[in-house]
Each structure stands twice: as structure tokens, then as C-alpha cells.
Structure 1
Amino acid sequence: MGSNNEVSIHEAKDIPADASLPTEFGNFRIRVFHEQSTKLDHVALTLGDMIGPDPVLVRIHSECLTGDAFGSLRCDCGPQLKSAMELIHEAGWGCVVYLRQEGRGIGLREKIKAYHLQDEGVDTLDANIMLGHPADARDYRIAAEILKALNITGVSLLTNNPDKVQQMNNLGIEVIEQIPLVVGVGADNIEYLSTKVQRMGHSIDLESINDKK
């Protein structure tokens, strides 16, 4: 969850960390923002100009090595990232903010420990708590700072997460529209997604999920 402490981002001034990035979903630009306090590098993928009459289509995506890179079916992260990029391509403009907040903010090693507990029957929230972490340790202040650096203050946010919407509004990014992103649902992540709905209030139609069991 977010706090009131300020965060600081830094961009290289000598040779900018800003380049074209051709992808299967179009020709994006990749721009790296360095977070001073954590020493982590976060990414903004943009397509088109960020100035227009309509709110910018935005996905704030937290790093998931297992889902994004390895195609894990335990979560819906990989399909959500790909779907967001595809939707931005179809719209002709938009932004993906990719945050280095693996495992809902607890890091890769702790996430895999949580997976071990889940293999033994613990749900995704209780697994984090049993390891001494919050159910969701993510902090969206850095995302808000990145969006402001891109002159984005009003967004159509691709998310199922009501906490993300609330945090962004509180941080000065107006969420004009929340667009659910329900993709990648399957037998291996039904319980995970059901827990997110029942215990975290995510905007996912449980009946449509249960139909896939």
C-alpha cells in the first residue's frame, strides 16, 4: 500500500535511456526512470503522443518474471501485459508503466516462497501474510511520478484492481475510466483470481471465472 513519503525519479542526461522499441504490438518507445531510494529502474512504454482530447489509455503493470517472461499459468499477468499493449496499439496511443514490484511488492524470492505455501493449499493473500508481508505491498507513487513526467494527468486505466484506482486518484492522476482486463483465465489460476475477487475486491465476473472450472 502507498505511503505519504515522497519518491524521487531520475533520468540520465548524458545519453538518454529513451529509444524506439519495435514489438509485435507496434512501434513503442521505451523510457527508463531510475528510482533513487530503491535503485530500481522502472519503464514507460509509450505509443503515439501523450497529448489529446481523450484520457490516455494506461496500464500500470507490476513486474512478474514468471508470468511475463516464462508464461506461467499460475497468474494472469503475462496475458494482461500483452492484452494491454494490443489495446494500446488498437487505440493508436497509450502508455504501459512497468514497475519493478515483483510479487505484489515482496520480491521474486519471497514470491516463490509464497508459491510453495500455495502448493500446500494456502491462498495467495495468506501466503504473503504468513511470510510476514502485507497482502499487497505495492506502492504506486512511482507510477504517478512517471505519468506526470510524461505530462499524463488523466487516464483510462486498464485494471481490475480498485486499490490501484484509489491510489492513483489520491496521487493526482485522475482515473476517468476504469477498464477491466480479464484475460488469461484458466484452470491453473481460477482459485488465485477468485481470491482476488473475494478478498481484494477485484473487478472480475466470478460467474464467468467459475464457468471455466
Structure 2
Amino acid sequence: MLKLVIGNKLYSSWSLRPWLVLSSFAIPFEEEIIPLRMPDSRGRMLEYSPSGKVPALVDDEVTVWESLAIIEYLAEKFPDVAIWPRDGNARAHARAISNEMHSGFQTLRQACPMHLGARFATPPITEALRANIDRAEDIWSEARNRFAGGRPFLYGPFSAADAMYAPVVARFDSYQIPVRESTRAYMDAVLAHPAFANWREAALVEPWSIPDYATGHTLVESFV
């Protein structure tokens, strides 16, 4: 059986992405959580991933690390499952925006670390942060207008692209980022998705916490 090695569900945005794909498409797997920032964290991660980071997917003698590479491996291994959109134009668009997510949005990542256990006051919206927010909203709007056909996710049914952007949805929600009405509708769909709800439920009962993830932010509400 596939094994997905992940970090804390409360904070690990990169782990969330392939986990959502596996769970959403009912692909059997087992998970192993290696808590972040523990004395033995890197050593344990190196047992699975040469980068010393999670997530990592183990499939017998094959090991794949990095979220997007894992998702692509799953799409190849399970071709009968529509992990990427079936339509060629939509699929190309979905891969492009997913790669953009994988390599970009650094200001948003730094200003709003993923933290599913709390809600914070909106941080100062700098020019760089505004650019990241606007770009994410534009991506979602274009995808839904062109390909969703009135359905809630970016390309109609939930896909790998939605999994790639789920941590951004979580950040916008946790830090109460002001967004367009259409953006809020998309966010609500992702937050209500059963796989995301299951991840968040498990995150809220984890025994580990990393105080640094809340440093510099004004706590409004805690769920843990």
C-alpha cells in the first residue's frame, strides 16, 4: 500500500496537498506523521526523503518527494482517476497554475503561515502581499469562469489544482483576508470539502504545537 509521510496537519501546507488528492479520489494509503521542528524530525524525514523534508510518498521501491511531483506520480499511476481535468485545455491550465503556486506566492507564505487552529486579525496588506492576493483571486476567477461550468471548484469537480491552492484558501480564511464575493464562494467550497474537513478535524486534536507559527500575529480566536 502507498505510504504518505507528512508533517503536522495543523501547519504543514505542503503535506496537505497530496493528502487531499489521495483522500478525495479514494486512493488507499497509510499515513505517517513526523512532527515538525522536533530534535529528531530531520533524521526521521531523511529515512524517507533525500531532501529531509515532507511530504514523501513511498510506493514499494519508489519514493517521491515534493507535493507536485507526488501528485503527478499519482496521476500517472491511476490514469482512470481524474486527478487532473480530463479536458486538454483545462488540464494544461490546471498544471500551469499549480506550478505557479508551487514556485511562487512567497510573500503570502511568509506573511500568513498556515495555521488551522486559530483565526488572526488581518495583517498589514503591503504592496507585495496585495499582489499575491490579487494574483490568487485572478487565477481562481479565470479558471472558474472558463472551465468550471457553474460548478464550485476551479475546473468543475475537485482536482489537483484545488488541492494545490487549498492552503491559500486556509490562509485567506485564518487571517481574514478581504476577498471578492466570488472568491469567498470558492473558499467556502474548499473548506467544506469532506477531505479538507477530515484533515482539519485531525489537525485540531494533534498533541504538537509550534508557537512560532503565531508569532507576530494578533490572535482573535483559537480552536485548539
Q: Same-fold call, TM > 0.5?
A: no
Higher relative contact order (CA 8 A, sep 6+): 2
Higher strand share: 1
